[in-house]
Amino acid sequence: MTGTLYILQARPAAIVALDVDSGDIKTVRGDLYGVPDGIQVVAADDAIYWTSMGKPPLSGEEFPGDDGSVERCSIGGTDHATLIGDGAIVTPKQVRLHRPTDRLYFCDREGMALWSCRTDGSDLRNLLRTGDWPEQTGEILRHCVGIALDDLGGYIYWTQKGPADGGRGRIFRAPIDFQAGPAPLHDRDVELLLDHLPEPIDLEIDFDRRKLYWTDRGDPSVAGNSLNCADIGVDGLSNHVVLATGLQEAIGLALDTAGQRIFVSDLGGTIHSFSLVDGTFAVVHQFGNPLTGIAFSQ
C-alpha cells in the first residue's frame, strides 16, 4: 500500500504532503492565503485545487466576509493561480472534481450555497441557495459544508452542520445531471436524508461498497468527533454506523480504495487511518498545527 496524503494545514496556512508508508513529510506550498479548507488532487493533470475561507476572524469561528477563494497549483507547488475570488463567493469549504466534465463543485458555508465552475475558474454557476447573503448568514442551520458527487446514482450530497455541538446537523441530497452541465437544483427535489446529527462536516463516497462516509466534529458525548458511514440506496441512506470516535474536531477524510482504508484529519493536528478490513483505528502522524481538508493520491 503506497500513496501520498495531501493535507491542508490551517495555521500556518500550507499544503503538506505525507508519504503514508514511509512517514516522509514535505511542504508543497506554504504561506497560503487565508484559512485553507477543502482540497482535491488530480495527479493526471498535475493539479492541486483548494479552497480558502478567507481571512480569519478576530474572534469566533464565523467568516462573514466575501473574501473566500478557490485556488490551484501544480503537484510540486508551482504555477499558482487564484481561480475564483474578488467577492464572487464567501466561505468555500469542501471541493470535489467531477472528472468526466472537468468541473469543480464546492459548498459555501456563510454564503449558504452550492457552486460549480470549470477547472480554470470560468463558468461559475450557483446550484442552490439555502439562504440570502448577507442577511441570513447568521442562521447557522443554513450553512453548507461538505459535498460529494455520486455520478453513478445521479445525486449531489451535502452537509449542513448546524450550530457547534448543537445536535442539529443534517445530510441532504438532490438529483443532478452531471453530463448535461450543472443547473439550479429545485427545492422540491432536495431530500433530507439524516437529521439531528452532532455536527457533520466532510463527505466521501465509496462507490464499490455504495457507502457514504463523513466526519463529525460535534459533541463527543453523543457520538460526535467521529467517523461515520451509511449505506447509499434508492430511498436514501440507511444503517448509519459510527465507525470511530475520539477525534479532536474531525474535519477532512480521504478514501484509499486499493488499501481499503480511510484517512481522517482533525483540528487537533492528527491524521488517523481506519481499516475497512478489520476496523483498526490508528494514528498515522501527529502534526503540531490544526488540519482541515485532506486528499489521497496513489
pLDDT at 1: 63
**Is the C-alpha dihedral spanning 183, 187, 188, 192 positive or negative?**
positive
Residue 250 in any domain: the answer is: yes
Q: Which residue has the higher pLDDT, 135 or 59?
A: 135
Q: Write out pLDDT tens, residues 182-234.
A: 889 989 999 999 999 999 999 999 999 999 999 999 999 999 999 999 999 99
- Considering the chain, what is the average pLDDT of its residues? 97
Residue 298 in any domain: the answer is: no
Integer Cα distance of 62 and 53 in angstroms? 10
pLDDT at 64: 83
Integer Cα distance of 171 and 159 in angstroms? 5
Q: Write out pLDDT tens, residues 31-71.
A: 999 999 999 999 999 999 999 999 988 877 889 899 999 99
pLDDT at 182: 84
Q: What is the mean pLDDT of residues 261-285?
A: 98
Residue 62 in any domain: the answer is: yes
Residue 70 in any domain: the answer is: yes
- pLDDT over threshold 90, residue 2: no
Residue 22 in any domain: the answer is: yes
Q: What is the mean pLDDT of residues 252-269?
A: 98
Neighbours of 160 (CB within 10 A): 24
Residue 59 in any domain: the answer is: yes
Q: Give pTM, 2 decimals.
A: 0.97
Least Cα distance to 113 among 193, 33, 185 occurs for 185
- Number of structural domains in the chain: 1
pLDDT at 225: 98
Q: Write out pLDDT tens, residues 73-113.
A: 999 999 999 999 999 999 999 999 999 999 999 999 999 99
pLDDT at 58: 80
Q: What is the CATH number of the domain that holds 75?
A: 2.120.10.30
Residue 165 in any domain: the answer is: yes
Residue 38, domain extent: 4-292
Percent over 70 (pLDDT), the chain: 100
Residue 242 in any domain: the answer is: yes
Integer Cα distance of 104 and 93 in angstroms? 12
- Burial code (b: 16+ CB inside 10 Å, e: under 16) for 209-231 equals eebbbbbbbbebeeebbbbbbbe
